[in-house]
Structure 1
Amino acid sequence: MWKVEFQTSIANVIANVCKEQSNLRFLKLSATMSGINDVKEVVKVAKNEAQFKRHTVLFMDEIHRFNKLQQDSFLPHVENGTITLIGATTENPSFSLNNALLSRCRVIVLDKLTVDDVTKILERAVEKNNLVMVDDGEKITLENNTTKCLIERASLKWLAEMSDGDARIALGALELAIASHEKSAASTTPVITLQNLKDGIKRTHMLYDRKGEEHYNVISAIQKSIRASDDNAALYWTTRALHGGEDPLYIARRLIRTACEDIGLGNPNAIVEAVACLEGCKHIGMPECDVLLAQCAVRLARAPKSTEVYHAMKRVQRSLRETKGPLPPVPLVLRNAPTKLMKDLGYAEGYNTRNRDSSGFGYMPEGLENVNFFNEETILKSELL
């Protein structure tokens, strides 16, 4: 499971389902506190329980904390049906799970909650905690003193919007707001207004994991926005990465790559500006270097684009991968000849510094004389020969 926000709740639901089935046995482990020996013990007991027609369901929380060798310990027991493994992880399983284990599992993606979903959860919390929800400006006279406080509907809406799809953050903020809001008078039930929340709770969290998938998603968004010449989007994603705590030097290095890959010969100065941005970030650091990165991202987005060199390089790489047998040797005339023996063998014999059209010899290896990697048609023709 991917991007699980309520792993404990999911485990409890599965545990209750297993309790209702007499032939199912539920166990929960956390990879943060367990090791291979714990897994072996679970398997040992599971094999014994299987003799009594009871099947073991193992819920492994934070399964990505097991390295890929440790994850191998699950393979034979999942394959032969000794256990049913349910793994919960907040990481992208494509990166954090063993490919062999991943191929034997079904991946269920749990997306973050919508604002409406979080609002409903907050409303239930308000009702359960004996609070009263009121609309903005509404005045209510309470007949009893059992109500802790009033809370405006707009306050819940704001909490839901600021929680970034994580109900735990919203509920924690609501609890904090209630606990910190003192009654203005003994006989008056205070109202938690939207302004009260904004004054007391700041949006300090951000869904951004510098080592997880969101790290790569946002960086990818920066490069794709620049590639599409969308300066507005490039500015947004660059600023969002910085706001989430991304290393500014990492962003600068990606901008250098983008300057070559997507802009290239369309504006040769782009690489110079990107490298200058990296050096500037090294000298002044955060938060002062934020504008350097923003300016560089916008500049690259607005620059004319050329992917000629990038695609030519990819064709060379493909040619090298697909070459049958040994790679063609460097022509003798192009070889370095620092010793007498090398000169006697013909290294660099006849070499001159004239243009290729008048030098009298070729610079490509044997068999590739007529291949131009800047022109894909010549490559296709050479492959047909």
Structure 2
Amino acid sequence: MQTLFEDEAPRPLADLLRPASLADVVGQDHLLAPDAPIGRIVASGMMVSMILYGPPGTGKTTIARLLADASKLRFEAISAIQSGVADLRRVFEAARDQRKAGRGTLLFCDEIHRFNRAQQDAFLPVVEDGTITLVGATTENPSFELNGALLSRCQVFVLRPLDPAALEGLLQRAEAHMRRRLPLTSEARTAMIDLAGGDGRYLLNLAEQIFRLQRDETLDTAAMGRVVQRRVATHDKAGDGHYDLLSAFHKSLRGSDADAALYYAARMMAAGEDGNTVFRRLVCAASEDVGTADPEALVQVIAAWQAFERVGWPEGKLFLAQAICYVATAPKSNAAYLAFSAALDVAEKTSHLPPPLNVLNAPTELMKELGYSHGYRYDHDEPDAYGGQEFLPDQLQGTRRGRFFSPNERGFERELRKRLDYWSNLKQRREGK
């Protein structure tokens, strides 16, 4: 219930500038434009339950409120952090009462991924029968965090981080509301937009700090940085952001982009990531993506990791940087990885096949009589230390299923290809082929 003095209470600038219509929401035209998905839903007058997935400060709560206004639904909001099943039941009961009176309810559930599976299941019947129109907000990937049954009853819309143009638009709205310009140089203004990291609410909070200064001088980038609080790097070690950065880091290594790999590693370390996590991905890349094209890559990473553990941070960044640059710029090959994957596949299907008798030891007389070890040639006694024997089971010898390792012509694998070709030719000559 609103009081007489509520309008006089101080309100954050971000709240004062909250859009009054969907057309005023910036940065989400791909969803809200008249010909975009949510725009078409609003125009049809048939509201649907949905999940709004995106980073903080992109307008999820605002959009939910405006959808309720546009569809003439009663707006109800809960937070999964502060609510339980009992709270949900009270909201659902109130929605049923409203429905009897002829009015629907739009229930906005913030941080819906925080609800456990049983709590999420509580939404199913009331969404199914239309008691509520659910608008859930989440910063985590709904595919991993929400029940399949709930997802099947909702449409998922992805909100994007606000780009510099959208953030500049917010600053201009703030200046129009305050009736004065922010006392910033153009470089400081750009730096503040960069500092926001796509978060409109955070940008307006920064602007509010600057407006409160009541100074006449114009702040440059350094002065602006001293005034505003530095944004803490966003990195949930158990959430999507964690795995997204690791994925981008690994793919940058694989794609031989040292700059991008260094950047994503720096993002993780600046956010407090455990250096061992970064090194674990480096080790995987050194083997999976570099492999035998440069066997030294794995050695370099292990040595750098050991140095990192012994010296610690911040000096440890020297070893991390060296390992990242080595792996990113090394020649790439997944031949060994593919070879073992193929071998595993064949092994699962042919586990009953015995090795050739000649390559088996014969510790007993009976085994010798059965042919164990018979005809085996000790390679070191052969010319070029190569006997040219067959070691695969008989059924795999000379078949495509028995060929796994195929080195390419990059890096050290050129030498491995030469060796394999040399042994193959040597074997054919000895067999008279």
* 1:164 aligned residue: 197
* 2:19 aligned residue: none
| Cα distance in 2, alignment partners of residues 349 and 209 from structure 1 | 62
State yes or no: 1:243 paired with 2:265.
no
Identity %: 35
1 or 2 for the larger relative contact order (CA 8 Å, sep ≥6)?
Answer: 2
TM superposition shift of 1:60: 0.8
**Structure 1 residue corresponding to 2:252, chosen from 222, 225, 229:** 225
**Structure 2 residue corresponding to 1:193, chosen from 207, 219, 236:** 219
Structure 1 counterpart SS, 2:153: coil
| Cα distance in 2, alignment partners of residues 283 and 354 from structure 1 | 48
| Cα distance in 1, alignment partners of residues 378 and 141 from structure 2 | 53
Q: 1:314 to 1:125 in 2, by over 3 A?
A: same
* 2:312 aligned residue: 285
**Structure 2 residue corresponding to 1:120, chosen from 157, 169, 173:** 169
Contact 2:61 2:137 in 1 (8 A): no
After the TM superposition, which residues 253-332 of structure 1 pair with which residues of structure 2 at under 5 Å, given as runs?
Answer: 253-319=280-346, 323=349, 328-329=351-352, 331=354
| Cα distance in 2, alignment partners of residues 290 and 280 from structure 1 | 10
Q: Which amino acid aligns with 2:217?
A: V
Q: Which amino acid aligns with 1:267?
A: D
TM-score (norm 2): 0.67
* 1:178 aligned residue: 211
TM superposition shift of 1:38: 2.3
Contact 2:338 2:405 in 1 (8 A): no
Contact 1:218 1:241 in 2 (8 A): yes
Q: Which amino acid aligns with 1:62?
A: E
TM superposition shift of 1:358: 6.4
* 2:27 aligned residue: none
TM superposition shift of 1:193: 2.1
| Cα distance in 1, alignment partners of residues 190 and 335 from structure 2 | 50
TM superposition shift of 1:170: 1.7
Provide, for residues 291-345 of structure 1, a one-character-per-residue CA deviation record: whole Å limited to 9, x for no partner.
2111101101222222111112232444567x5xxx63373889x99xx9xx999
After the TM superposition, which residues 1-385 of structure 1 pair with which residues of structure 2 at under 5 Å, given as runs?
Answer: 1-4=52-55, 5=57, 6-18=59-71, 21=72, 24-130=73-179, 132-133=180-181, 151-152=183-184, 154=186, 155-179=188-212, 181=213, 183=215, 190-194=216-220, 195-201=222-228, 203-319=230-346, 323=349, 328-329=351-352, 331=354, 350=372, 362-364=391-393, 368=396, 370=399, 371-374=401-404
Q: Which amino acid aligns with 1:170?
A: L
TM superposition shift of 1:272: 1.7
| Cα distance in 2, alignment partners of residues 302 and 91 from structure 1 | 33
TM superposition shift of 1:89: 0.7
TM superposition shift of 1:263: 0.8
Q: 1:280 to 1:204 in 2, by over 3 A?
A: farther
* 1:186 aligned residue: none
Provide, for residues 8-61 of structure 1, a one-character-per-residue CA deviation record: whole Å limited to 9, x for no partner.
32333234335xx2xx33321110011122223333443444444433322111
TM superposition shift of 1:119: 1.8
- Length, aligned pairs only: 339
TM superposition shift of 1:88: 0.2
Q: Which amino acid aligns with 2:95?
A: A
Q: 1:331 to 1:16 in 2, by over 3 A?
A: same
TM superposition shift of 1:176: 2.0
Structure 2 counterpart SS, 1:107: strand
Q: Which amino acid aligns with 1:307?
A: N
TM-score (norm 1): 0.75
Structure 1 counterpart SS, 2:155: coil
Unpaired segments of 5 or more residues in structure 1? Answer: 134-149, 184-189, 377-385
Q: 1:359 to 1:344 in 2, by over 3 A?
A: farther
Contact 1:210 1:245 in 2 (8 A): no
